[in-house]
């Protein structure tokens, strides 16, 4: 599990997380940027919901999403 943080200004967010906090980018693509934080990571993604409670808060990675959905529905 890791935190997903919506941002309205990706360049400003990258400056803060990279330069101010000193975090290292571990992945970057059209969906966002992932930074290493101790033994975990955080994801930044552009969103018009930045600064509200309407954005994604956490992401769980699972090996088989369809099986996980079936199990949760059951």
The DSSP element (H or E) to which 70 belongs, if any, is: helix 65-73
**Do the beta carbons of residue 2 and residue 45 sit within 8 Å?**
no
Q: 1-35: per-residue pLDDT in tens? A: 888 899 999 999 999 999 999 999 999 999 999 99
Output the pLDDT for position 67: 95
Q: What's the chain's average pLDDT? A: 90
Q: Is the pLDDT score of 64 beyond 90?
A: yes
Give the DSSP per-residue string, 12-60: HHHIIIIIIS-PEEEEEETTEEEEEETTEEEEEEE-TTTTSS-S--EE-
Q: Enter the pTM of the model.
A: 0.74
């Amino acid at each position: 599990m890791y935190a997903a943080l919506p941002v309205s200004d990706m360049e400003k967010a990258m400056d803060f997380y990279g330069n101010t906090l000193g975090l290292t980018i571990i992945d970057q693509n059209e969906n966002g940027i992932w930074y290493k934080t101790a033994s975990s990571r955080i994801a930044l993604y552009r969103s018009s919901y930045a600064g509200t409670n309407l954005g994604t808060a956490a992401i769980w990675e699972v090996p088989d999403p369809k099986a996980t959905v079936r199990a949760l529905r059951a």
